Structure 1
Amino acid sequence: MPEALTLTAPGPDGTDRQVRLSSPDKVVWPATDRGAAITKADLAAYLQAVAEPMLRGLADRPVTLQRVRGGIEGEEFYSKNPPKGVPEWARTTMVTYPSGRSHPQLVVDDPATLLWTAQMGTVTWHPWPVRTGDNDHPDEVRVDLDPQPGRDYRDVVEAAHGLRTVMAEVGLDPYVKTTGSRGVHVFAAVRPTLEFLDVRHAVIGIARELERRLPDLVTTAWWKEERGERIFVDYNQATRDRTLAAAWSPRILPGAPVSVPVSWEQLDEVDPTTLTVHTVPGWLAEHGDPWADLHEDPADLAAAHALWEADLERGLGELSFPPDHPKMPGEPPRVQPSKKVAEHWDEHGNRVEPPSAGPDRAD
């Protein structure tokens, strides 16, 4: 294979653009018992095969790039700032992070930009749940069902169906995909009327209702030591600057698994370990994209947010935020429960320093 390939693909205005792919024979995913090694050129061919449905989930959104140097066994890092050398025809959008800091982030609107990000070592694409016209109000609810040790994929499928029921009861239309790992992602399109914190609270309301119905199967416990063998309903995926792998995106795991949208009927039958960069183009050709109409009828989150409000009335309050997020009002202490000393924390979850011991004084 030559030292470089020049690929032609439509750019953001529909005009064909040329993308240089250096070292096309470089191995990104080594061979496994699930398939032959996958090179940079193989990844580019995969992206060309799935570009149409993949771009439905990426286009017009800020995208974080999960990149590697030396393939998936080399250095891994995330690009939130646009990588150096962004083509002049690619687009960026300004986003604000939990710290209050803002900077531009790449938008992947078209096949040419998608291929260019692969040239830059991207293996997984992580879109924000917002559109560039309003980067502060999500238009998607995303829930990650994360199985703990002792649970398998079939347990996650059971939890996903329970989650589907709860979401439907509050007026949402849930869609499901494999994660490329052991879990399941459930999405729903919503009207972009609520800011991140309110969307997160609506997701917490849904998660707690699911936990009440399936207490032995799922949990909202943030600390792993409290989860046991239950499936964690990761409500923090609704937090600002938290993203999930895009639909149709490969994952940085051996065998090049892909996060694949499936119908709810297919969820019960599919073996996610068989959905890889090698096999997914054929799967897509055979089954089509079950997420093609995801955003046709976005829902209102009022009923889901009412679950949160009802839990507040029951005395249930805020749940833990990710550790890199600023401390929030009412948040529980950021310390493992097994290491918590009760008298060192006030009712609002703030650490209280014990009074310093000084010499005795006579009045």
Structure 2
Amino acid sequence: MAAKTVLQLTVPGPDGDRTVRLSSPDKIYFPERGITKREVVEYYLTVAEPMLRAVFDRPTNLKRFPDGVAGEAFFAKRVPKGAPAWVRTVTVTFPSGRTAESVAPSEPAVIAWAANLGTLDFHPWPVRRADPDRPDELRIDLDPQPGTGFAEAVEVASVLDEVLDEAGLVGWPKTSGGRGVHVSARIRPEWTFIEVRRAVIAIARRVADRIPDLATVAWWKEERGERVFLDYNQAARDRTIASAWSVRGLARATVSMPVTWQDLPAVEPEDFDVRTVPGLLAARGDPHAGMDAAVGGLETALDWYAADERDRGLGELPYPPEYPKMPGEPMRVQPSRARTGTVRKSR
């Protein structure tokens, strides 16, 4: 049996050069495009600088595809065994109360090391290593439901941009790499996960109020219809979305690409993949380069939440099923089951 090919990459960083092992570089990761593991690692080294603005010092879940997109994927929420000493870590607390040591990327070599393990998607928490219990980023995932697609998500995103502006926040859009749109805003790390989630709920409700035929905050799929779901639960503790510049585990090797509000209506998710993005970055730079300088607060959004609760009787919404019962949360039961009386007691 022939020996497996192993390359040693020299990756410059803030503390000097690192040696990163690249095993099986010619292994095909994306059969439809013939994209190899080497191409994925080289892609990540090319975009490492802007990508670190998105993931730097954040606890990051690694979505690993060791056999490429044709194989089975899994999330690594803990630091993989054998990590080099220069891989920075951070302790995170899950909703269950359990803790774990998570990767906190701090330099290009960490991204390359993770990519060699088969990581395609990097899923950072919205917190930093210095304070892992207080988010410094508000995120809203615009998730098209059956019968809708990327074009509808873009329409909803434009209204979301208006509402964020009214809340005193600056939104930064990116493609999800699939059919959706992700919008993030930097915030001061002064609020808990629960408070940030409530701010997202209040913002999302205002979007849905303005375009009720196109947008919804309904947690239960049977109530969403052919609308775009503003997934407020992506703001819950331990819920993450793929970072900007992440390669998605899809056949075409698309990338979750940061864009400007001006460009968003004119792009398609397929415009951005492992082979096209390096050239776009070289030609246009990072569309989100100013994100860290646009930091806002949640005072207005939380005032909206309080007003909704007081004046409209609209408070908490259901959490994901794996979460413990949360304060003020309604019963986790599908409306159709509630109507027929087939209700199990919520946890």
Aligned-residue offset at 1:342? 6.8
Structure-2 residue corresponding to 1:29: 30
Measure, in 2, the Cα distance between the counterparts of 1:233 and 1:45: 34
Q: Are positions 1:14 and 2:15 aligned together?
A: yes
User: Helix, strand or coil: the match of 1:181?
Assistant: coil
User: Helix, strand or coil: the match of 2:158?
Assistant: helix
Deviations 1:327-352 (A, max 9, x none): 1132222222222257676xxx9559
Structure-2 residue corresponding to 1:274: 271
Match of 1:5 among 4, 7, 10: 7
Match of 1:120 among 117, 122, 142: 117
Structure-1 residue corresponding to 2:87: 90
Deviations 1:66-117 (A, max 9, x none): 0013111111100011001100111101111111111111111111111110
Structure-2 residue corresponding to 1:234: 231
User: Helix, strand or coil: the match of 1:82?
Assistant: coil
Equivalent residue letter for 2:66: R
The number of equivalent residue pairs is 344
Match of 1:71 among 65, 68, 73: 68
Measure, in 2, the Cα distance between the counterparts of 1:286 and 1:137: 36
Deviations 1:213-255 (A, max 9, x none): 1100000000111100010000011100011101000001111
Equivalent residue letter for 2:47: V
Alignment of 1:1-363 (within 5 A): 3-11=5-13, 13-31=14-32, 36-313=33-310, 314-341=312-339
Q: Is the 2:233–2:320 Cα contact (8 Å) retained in structure 1?
A: yes
Provide runs of 4+ in structure 1 moved above 3 Å.
341-345, 349-352
Aligned-residue offset at 1:271? 1.8
User: Helix, strand or coil: the match of 1:268?
Assistant: helix
Measure, in 1, the Cα distance between the counterparts of 2:346 and 2:277: 50
Equivalent residue letter for 1:4: V
Measure, in 1, the Cα distance between the counterparts of 2:293 and 2:148: 34
Equivalent residue letter for 2:321: P
Measure, in 2, the Cα distance between the counterparts of 1:127 and 1:6: 27
Measure, in 2, the Cα distance between the counterparts of 1:281 and 1:9: 18
Q: 1:2 to 1:197 in 2, by over 3 A?
A: same
Measure, in 1, the Cα distance between the counterparts of 2:154 and 2:309: 29
Aligned-residue offset at 1:317? 1.7
Structure-2 residue corresponding to 1:358: none
Q: Is the 1:125–1:245 Cα contact (8 Å) retained in structure 2?
A: yes
Deviations 1:158-194 (A, max 9, x none): 1000000001001001110000000100000000100
User: Helix, strand or coil: the match of 1:265?
Assistant: coil
Measure, in 1, the Cα distance between the counterparts of 2:99 and 2:8: 34
Equivalent residue letter for 1:20: R
Measure, in 1, the Cα distance between the counterparts of 2:346 and 2:87: 46
Q: 1:154 to 1:295 in 2, by over 3 A?
A: same
Deviations 1:41-71 (A, max 9, x none): 0001101111100111111110000001311
Q: Is the 1:151–1:230 Cα contact (8 Å) retained in structure 2?
A: yes
Bigger shift: 330-339 or 302-311?
330-339
Question: How high is the sequence identity, in percent, across the aligned residues?
Answer: 52
Q: Is the 1:344–1:351 Cα contact (8 Å) retained in structure 2?
A: no
Measure, in 2, the Cα distance between the counterparts of 1:337 and 1:211: 19
Bigger shift: 244-253 or 284-293?
284-293
Q: Greater Rg, structure 1 or structure 2?
A: 1
User: Helix, strand or coil: the match of 1:303?
Assistant: helix
Aligned-residue offset at 1:323? 1.0
Measure, in 2, the Cα distance between the counterparts of 1:158 and 1:227: 17
Equivalent residue letter for 1:137: R
Structure 1 unaligned regions, length at least 5: 353-363
User: Helix, strand or coil: the match of 2:103?
Assistant: strand
Aligned-residue offset at 1:324? 1.1
Measure, in 2, the Cα distance between the counterparts of 1:52 and 1:304: 32
Q: Is the 1:23–1:40 Cα contact (8 Å) retained in structure 2?
A: yes
Equivalent residue letter for 1:332: P
Give the TM-score of the pair, scaled to structure 1. Answer: 0.92
Equivalent residue letter for 1:251: R
